[in-house]
Each structure stands twice: as C-alpha cells, then as structure tokens.
Amino acid sequence: MPVTPPSVSRTTPVKVTVVVPTHNTGETILTGLHSFLAQTMPRTDFEVIYVDDGSTDDTVALLESELARQGAEPAIRVIRTANSGWPGRPRNIGMDAARGEFVHFVDDDDWLAPEALERTCARAEETGADIVIGRMAGHGRRAPRALFEKPIASADLRSDTALLASMTVHKLFRRSFLQENRLRFEEGQVRLEDHMFTLRAYLLTSRVATVHDYTCYHWVRHRSEDHNISYESIEPGPYLDSVRKVLAILDAPDTYVPHGRHRRRLTANWYGKKALARISGELLLGQSARRRAEWFEAVSALACDLPPETDTSLPTRLRIVGALARRGERELLEEHAEFEAGVDHRPVVRSTGWKDGRLTVRCGTRLVRTEEKGARALPLPFSRARNRYRLQLAPGVAAVPEAAEAADFTGAVRRSNVRGLLRHREGGTTLSVPLTHRVVEVPLRQEGTAADFVAKAARRMRLPDRLTDRLTDRLTDRLTSRLPGGGNREPDLCALGFETEFTVDPSSADNGRPLAPGTWDLQLQLGCGGWRMARRLRGCSIEVPAEAEAQPQTSRRRPVAPVLRPAVSR
C-alpha cells in the first residue's frame, strides 16, 4: 500500500518533487532515502515519490519499514505499479502525481548531497531556468565534468553543444515547462528513453542553468547489476532503432533543427557515441563473434542511411571506423578494433614542489599502444610529412582509401586537450585544474637501427623500462644530430608527446572554494582525436585535513624522481 504522511495533504503545493523509479533495488534503496532525509531544504518544501515497478524482492518492504521508523516528515509516498520493465512508465506516473513547482529525477541506486535540492531550486529561481543541472560525481562510472567548469545561466542546445555532455534525466525540471510541452518518457523496454526525453527538453528551451560549484548528484554503478535493467545485455537491432528515434527528434515539428553544421554535430553525437563506438576497440572485442556480426550489420545499416558529410563532425578516430562501416569491411573493422583496444597514454611526473601553499606539477605523457595486456607499451606511430600527422594504420585498413584519408590527425593534434584533474577519493568529485601544454614530436626508432639494437639488448638484460628508454633516447638524439641538417630534419615516423605544467592551490581549487577534506588524487587527462583517457599520476595526491587551519601536504606513497626523462623535441 502507498505510504502517505498524515500531516501533509497531497493537494498542498511544495517547492520540489523528487521522483524515484524503483525495481528490485534491495538495501541500496535506503542510501538515497537517507540522503533525502538529510536535505538542508525545509522538509515541508519538498516531497519524494517512489514508484515501484513491480519489484519481486523486499524493496518496498524496506522502504515502508524505514518510513515508519522515520515518522511523517518529509512527505514520502510509495506508489506500486505492475512491472513495465523500464524506468519510463514509473517516471511518468511520478510526474503525474507530483505537487512540486519543480521535479527532480533521481535513480534508485543514486543519492543527493545535502544541499542539492536547496541549491538547484535557488539556481532555477535566480536564473528563471526551465532545467537546472547540478554538478555530478561518478561512482563506478564517468560523470560529466567540463559542463561544470564555469557557471552557466542560459545554455541553449540550438546554438551550442555543451549540453550534450549531460543527456541523462538526473536534473531539476520546472514542472509547468514539462506540462506545457507535454514532455513524457517513452514507455516499455525502449533504450535511450532518457536521451529522447532530455533532447526534446533541451530543444524546447533556451534556459538551462548549472550548479557548477557544489556536487549535487552522486551517480552510481554497482558491481552487482541484477537490480538495474539498463545494464542487461543490449540487443543491437532494438538499440539502433532507439538511436534512430533520438535522431528523428531533430526532424519533429516542435524540435526541428535546420540542416547544416550544427545539425551535423548533433547527429554525430549519437551516431558516434552510441553506434560507431559500439563497433570499435574493446566494446566490440568484448562481444561474441555472433554478436559482433549483429552489431556490425546494425551500425553499417545506420551509417548508409546517414549522409556522408555527417562523418566530418565525428572525432577523428571514429571517422576511420565510419569509413570501414560504410564500406562493409567487417574483417578490417575487427582488425582495427584490435589496434584501437591497445591505445592509451602513460603520464610521467617530471617534478613536484610546494611554494606559498601551492603545489606545482610538471609532467609529460605520450600516446602509446600495447599489443596485449601485460605487454610493454610502445609509442603510437604517426607519419609526418608536409606538416601533417597521419596515424599509421594496419596495411589492410590503410588500403581502404576512405579510411586512409580519415587517418589524418593533423587537426586533432592541434585541438588536443590535456587537463589536470583532481579526484576526491572519498566523495567522487572531479575538478579540472588550469594548465598549459605543448605537443612535442619524438622520433621513432626504426627496426634494424643501432638504437633498436640497444633497446632489444637492454630488454634481454631485463633492464627497467625507464633505463631502456633513457639509453635508446640518448642514442637516437646522438644519431639524429649527425644527420644532414642536424636535429632539424623532420622524422618520417614519430610519436606524439605532451608536456605540461599545472599548479594547484588547495585554498581555492574548487571554483574559488577550498578543497573538501580528504584525499585528492592528481590525474592527467589526454584528449586527442576522440581518445579521452584520464590516468592517475602515481604517488601524487593532496591530503586535506579536516581542520581548516591545517596546511595541506602531498602524500607520496611511491617516491617520484624530480626528473625521470627529458622530452625530446624536434
């Protein structure tokens, strides 16, 4: 039976309604409930509506028992409904039952920070926004971050693509906006139903704001995925049908986006991330042979339905995948997936130092590739001619003209993005750190050269990788300096390195506010051509004590040499 606090009338308006669809959530449902009970917003100003989608476990019993123990405040209701198999129908039921001026959607295994409702509602009232996105922290999943690097008061998807970073429904919506535009979730087992809802909402308003300086929403992916149907095995055909439904919104009368560059960028977001990414790298290789074939057929069919100019808005690495998909080159695509699965970057700390309460870190990284797990990473090779960089593809893939043309990474290198990150180990918040970086070319040793001989000999003697690299790099420098033209001659093959320096001030690193107490791990994120990988700087973290007057210090469980290896620039 639904639980209704006797002291609160269902007809009394409140400021915000939290809608939570549930299904076989189990004890984790209480984490979210306790976060609602801990909100700083007055309890009479909000309500929580749980809509249980036919749970067969003790989810509802756990909720009812805890509600009875907690008493009548805040207004919390549990609505039971027959199983629909997906969150869409429960969310619609919750919207229909809501009394709040605003509606905030929360998943059953997530939770809100104490000030989340107070801050998101205040931001909506301050800006007049129809949608407010609170800063998110990911637990076991990647949460959007760049969207919260600065305050946003009136974002508009019709003129900018920044909002594409947050397409889930874990946001605050003005209820009158939802009602006036008849915004509803697709019901039944429809993949990407949250993207359909959010895309329509974004295209129907120019007033989207963010809370950028406080982590409001904690987004969780549990190791046990039994209670979350969204994690079940994905059928390629129905999934690609959902991608088509998302793209169809761009043609609907009330959400129409004119054809042109911006339309291509929007289309490429789903075509790239939700289709081509499924047939690349580890996402493809992790499937059975039969399922890989099904994914390839479904994605290739979508690729052939989209105009070729759509590919110009894809990240460079996905243009190669798209070229193979359009040509129907399944075997070559799987070969390229093997290649891409090994791409990574390996940051190295050059030096660290504290001065005037601020930590300065110098580090570098290179794009690398491993043949298989556990193998030594080798530089990712690029050819350089006439000031253009081309990724060295496998011979069969390079023989496909469209793939070879797509392998031009020149623009991607110029737009490469290197970021310093601070990740709160306890709370999950990730912050960006301003930095400067430069791209350096590192000449690659060719098979049969003296440098290659030294590298092989060092490995036979089982010398450490760092010492091997140092020896071979020095020999490469010595040999290159003796070539005609000295070290200014452009190499035929090179690796790409990225040298950077950044400074962290713990007293203001969180958008002008001090870092929260706890351990903040330093990471270096490299984005180039659609590869985006954040790797921890080993041994480097900042310990912020609970006492505000205490001075933060670095924690370095593994000593890091001030200079490990100098960059080689040509």
Question: What are the pLDDT digits (tens) for 441-470?
Answer: 988 865 444 445 555 565 566 666 666 666
Q: What is the pTM of this model?
A: 0.86
∠ CA(401), CA(406), CA(407), 5° rounding? Answer: 100
In this structure, is residue 320 part of a structural domain?
yes
The answer on 142 and 287 residing in a single domain is no
Distance between CA atoms of residues 471 and 469, nearest Å: 6
Q: Is there a domain that residue 51 lies in?
A: yes
Of 189, 220, 251, the last residue of a domain is: 220
Torsion of CA 368, 311, 264, 291, to 10 degrees: -80
CA angle 493, 495, 501 (to 5 degrees): 150
Domain of residue 433, CATH code: 2.60.40.10
Q: Which residues of the chain have pLDDT under 70?
A: 1-11, 72-74, 223-232, 374, 445-491, 547-570
Query: How high is the pLDDT of residue 480?
Result: 44
Q: Are residues 99 and 212 in the same domain?
A: yes
Same domain, 380 and 498: yes
CATH number of the domain encompassing residue 38: 3.90.550.10
The CA distances from residue 169 to 81, 134, 270, 344, in Å, are: 21, 11, 16, 31
Mark whether 355 and 293 lie in a shared domain.
Answer: no
Same domain, 112 and 184: yes
pLDDT value at position 492? 80
Our CA angle for 81, 183, 35, nearest 5°, is 60
Q: How far is CA 216 from CA 68, 113, 116, 146, 268, in A?
A: 27, 5, 5, 15, 29
Provide CB contacts within 8 A for 279, sequence distance 6+: 292, 295, 296, 299, 321, 325, 333, 337
CA atoms of 170 and 107, how far apart (whole Å): 8
**Could you tell me if residue 397 is inside a domain?**
no
What's the number of domains the chain is made of?
Answer: 3
Please check whether residue 487 lies inside any domain of the structure.
Answer: no
Q: Is the peptide bond before 395 cis (omega within 30 degrees of 0)?
A: no
pLDDT at 288: 95
Q: How far apart are CA 115 and CA 128, in angstroms?
A: 19
Residue 531 lies in a domain: yes
85 CB burial (10 A radius; 0-12, 13-18, 19+): middle
Task: For residues 501 and 369, state if they share a domain.
Answer: yes
Place of tokens 């000449």: 443
Say how far apart CA 32 and CA 111 lie, in whole Å.
Answer: 4
**Residue 79 lies in domain:** 14-220
Instruction: Report phi then psi at 361, rounded to 5.
Output: -125, 130
pLDDT tens-place string over residues 522-544: 999 999 999 999 999 988 999 99
Q: Name the domain boundary from 220, 242, 276.
A: 220
The C-alpha atoms of residue 208 and residue 279 are separated, in whole angstroms, by 33
* Inter-axis angle of helices 261-270 and 236-248, nearest 10: 160
Q: Count CB atoms within 10 A of the CB of residue 62.
A: 18
Last residue of a domain, one of 171, 188, 220: 220
Residues 352 and 428 in one domain: yes
Question: Does 88 lie in the same domain as 38?
Answer: yes
C-alpha span between 302 and 241 (Å, rounded): 9
Please give the pLDDT value at position 30: 95
Say if 448 falls within a structural domain. no
- Residues 244, 192, single domain; the answer is no
- Asked if residue 271 belongs to a domain, the reply is yes
Residues 194 and 319 in one domain: no
pLDDT digits (tens, 9 = 90+) for 151-166: 999 999 999 999 999 9
Query: Does residue 570 lie in a domain region?
Result: no
Structure tokens at 45: 């100003």
Biggest CA pair distance of the chain: 89
Do 299 and 380 belong to one domain?
no
Cα gap 315→531, rounded to integer Å: 8
Residues 332 and 432 in one domain: no
